[in-house]
Chains A and B, each alone.
Chain A
Amino acid sequence: MTNNIIQVQGVSKIFGGLTAVNNVNLDVAEGSIYSIIGPNGAGKTTLFNCISGFYVPDHGMVLFQGLVLNGRSTDTVASLGLSRTYQNIRLFSNLTAIENVLVGQQPRLSETWVDSILHTPRSRKEEKTSLMEGFKWLDFVGLSEFANSIAGDLPYGAQRKLEIARALGSKPSLLLLDEPTAGMNPQETLEMTALIRSLRDKFNITIILIEHDMHVVMGISDYISVLDFGNKIAEGKPEEIQNNERVIEAYLGPGGAALAQKYRRKKAA
């Protein structure tokens, strides 16, 4: 039996009269790639925000490696080993790429401001190791040539990759990726898919993914949950989700399932 790295138990988030996330349960196995899909406005990003500490859930609990995350500030959550990226890129756009990755390493460093002023051996050693590591992460996502470029000036796809490199700086055991391939061309999407897979394969980082590109989702996910209007309407392996009537209706509207059936039969014939 695999360990669950994160357990979301009955989480709800209510904004005024709108229930954005309603009593959602997730169990994410360690070392898996877990996708959350659903139509626009289904509450996927809200659920992400509840997990990563941006929001405090109104009901329910988020357990990370057995620790309750509810009410912990985002910086403590990050130092526990949970990193994330953002749907609309939020880099430190006036800093260079390497500086972005260095900031990502903050929770693992112990250098204090006194060390910084006095250049103590500790600070020098830490500065050097974190710089080396930063360059290696940049190399890993394929951005080493851009190390000293200003992050905001990078091409769009590179900015997405840089966000991932920054998130990796804290050596997370769980990485939340919010639409990593949004706005990318097919070539970049392929590269990103390979990158996500190698994160799991090489570093055993568990990945939770919000994604709209079904080729990506069906290609790399081990397990998928589907949200619609804040409710989880289905979960399962990719092939199960593909044939789930409720999921199809959520995307295509009532009667969509029958339509899809017809389309498939036509295609088969």
Chain B
Amino acid sequence: MKTLIRQSIRTGVTFGIVQIFFILIAFNSMIGIMLAKISGIKNPGEIPAPKFLIAYTLLMGLWVGIAALRKKSELSAGQKILAGFSASLTSAVLVGLLEVVMTIILVNKVFVRDFLTVLSFDFIKATLFGMTPATGILVTIGCILLGSLAAVGLNILFNLHAVQEHWKKDMAFLKSLGEKFQYIVRGKYHLLWQIVGISILAVAVILIPMKWGSYWNYVFGTVGLYVILGLGLNIVVGLSGQLVLGYIAFFAIGAYTMALLNAPEPHNLMWGFWPALLLGVILAALSGLLLGLPIMRLRGDYLAIVTLGFGEIIRILLKSDVLTNFTGGPRGIQNIQGPNLFGRPFNSEVDFVYLIIAGVILASFVYNRLQQSRTGRAWLAIREDETVARASGVDTIKYKLLALAIGAAFAGLAGGIYASRNQFTGPDEHALMASINVLSLIIVGGMGNIPGTILGAFTLKGLPEILREFANFRLLAFGALLVFMMIARPEGLIPSHRPKYNEPKEASTNLKDKEVPHDK
């Protein structure tokens, strides 16, 4: 009994500290605004109405309750109530203490915003639900207790025998449904089903962009470009295992090739989109080779640092005053022309979405083919153990250069399309943060596989666009998500699986010189 209470109090302290932290970074008002939006209020303002903050506090209480009862399903109902109550009381008292301090700040008109920018007097008032301090603090404590008791109640309910039985039945039903689906898809007519599936997907891909507004097309175009980038970086990092941090430099090379060859300023060359795109891809691949040659001996951290430097060099060069006449300098390049296909100019987001989808399909195709081939296996061997790969006869230098060049070519493709779609490119679009974004998306999605990359691009590029209002918290959420991912799913949302090989049936002609016996 004593250990139970001690454990619960420890949980309560942890969560109390987390909640204090959340209040100090105004996470509560952010969630409050989100709740207000969900409930249909168009313009909730910077600080939400008290009822949403009360809802937030209840949710926090629920969270404490759930945490206090984690891995404690064998306890009796009374013990559960005790555990939930002591945990939530501890954290409620901690939060209450913070509110007391905030009240003192409010009453004495102490100006603390030099250190804690969010603690405005309005914010403090809202955190106390616009009530008098004493009631506010009591309501907070009450909400946390109530929330955690609700969690305890739910926990007890779900652990009841009857409920568990029902739950099991439901799961079994779902599982059998899944198996039936697998049977249909993988069974006798799997080819037919594949064709049907692909055609449904194709129709959807063709029709949906037309229905979306240009904003959604823009968002999903960006996601698509990041999928291409992610696949390229996956070849370098996921398959061949070289941690390259300045990857966005290749994207910049593609974008600037497009911009310099296809904009009225500064050179007015006007080569047209397709030649410029092709040249951008080639130049990016070449720069990958050139970067690769001197750094072939480097591994791990050293490689990461050198490539990070390369990325910064490219960005600073593009920005430099010396090259302003050539690259447009810090202002970047405007009015980049779009492509023409069969005499029809691309002038809406829809056209570009189709172009990007084509690019994604091409990139996935190349990636997939390479992955399941001699080349892909050589890369994987290098990732696993470079020394042994070499001693097994893999020409490690050749394959590492190849990985860099192909990965860079993918980035060049994405960069060219990107510059032409935005009709603008500037040096600050190619900063270090963009490289880190691409790396994060493949880590979050799952290193080394296509579905993971696509999911990662949606999570890290699509979601922030959807949640644009919370732009201030984007980096915070980003970091939190990465930390959470590393703990919960270290191999990414969709981990890679090794392909299965079956022994081919027919006899081969290649084994004449050394017979291999069958009698083992």
Note all chain A residues with C-beta closer than 8 A to B395: 75
Residues of A within 8 A of B380 (CB): 92, 94-95, 99, 103
Chain A residues in 8 Å Cβ range of B391: 52-54, 74-75, 77-78, 84
Which of B373, B389, B393, B508 contacts A133 (CB under 8 A)?
B508
User: When the two chains form their complex, are residues A116 and B374 in contact, meaning their CB atoms are under 8 A apart?
Assistant: yes
Q: When A and B form their complex, which 9 residue pairs have the shortest distance between CB atoms, in order from nearest?
A: A107-B393, A116-B373, A78-B393, A92-B384, A136-B516, A74-B391, A135-B503, A103-B381, A129-B510
Within 8 A of B (CB), among A151-169: 166-167, 169
Indicate whether B378 reaches chain A with its CB closer than 8 angstroms: yes
Specify which of B378, B503, B514 is in contact with A203 (CB 8 Å cutoff): B514
Point out residues on A near B: beta carbons under 8 Å.
52-54, 73-75, 77-79, 83-84, 86, 90, 92-96, 98-99, 102-104, 106-109, 111-113, 115-119, 123, 126-137, 139-140, 142, 147-148, 150, 166-167, 169-171, 202-203
The residues of B that contact A147 with a CB separation of less than 8 Å are: 501, 503
Q: Determine the distance from Cα of A167 to Cα of B391 in the docked complex, in whole angstroms.
A: 9
Q: How far is the CB of B387 from chain A (nearest CB, A)?
A: 8
Residues in A whose Cβ lies below 8 Å from that of B394: 75, 103, 106
| 17 A–B contacts from the bound complex (CB under 8 Å) | A52-B391, A78-B391, A98-B501, A103-B378, A103-B381, A109-B374, A112-B375, A113-B375, A117-B366, A127-B373, A131-B501, A132-B504, A134-B501, A136-B516, A139-B518, A140-B516, A171-B514
Count of A-B contacts judged by CB separation below 8 Å:
145
Q: How large is the interface on B (under 10, 10 to 19, 20 to 34, 35 or more residues)?
A: 35 or more
Residues 387-429 of B at the A interface (beta carbon under 8 Å): 387-396, 402, 406
User: A106–B373 contact, CB under 8 A?
Assistant: no
Given contacts A92-B384, A148-B498, contact A132 B374 (CB under 8 A): no
Closest to B368 in A: A117
Q: Scan residues 486-510 of chain B and give those whose CB is less than 8 A from a CB of chain A.
A: 498, 500-501, 503-504, 506, 508-510
Distance, CA A54 to CA B498, complexed state (A): 30
CA A117 to CA B370, docked complex, whole Å = 6
Q: Are A103 and B392 in contact (CB under 8 A)?
A: yes
Cα separation A95 to B500 with both chains bound (whole Å): 11
C-alpha gap A94/B491 in the complex (Å): 12
Flag whether B377 is at the interface (Cβ < 8 A): yes
Instruction: Known A103-B389, A140-B517, A142-B520; judge A133-B511 contact (CB<8 A).
Output: yes
Using Cβ atoms and an 8 Å threshold, which residues of chain A touch B389? 92, 103
Q: How far is the CB of B175 from chain A (nearest CB, A)?
A: 24
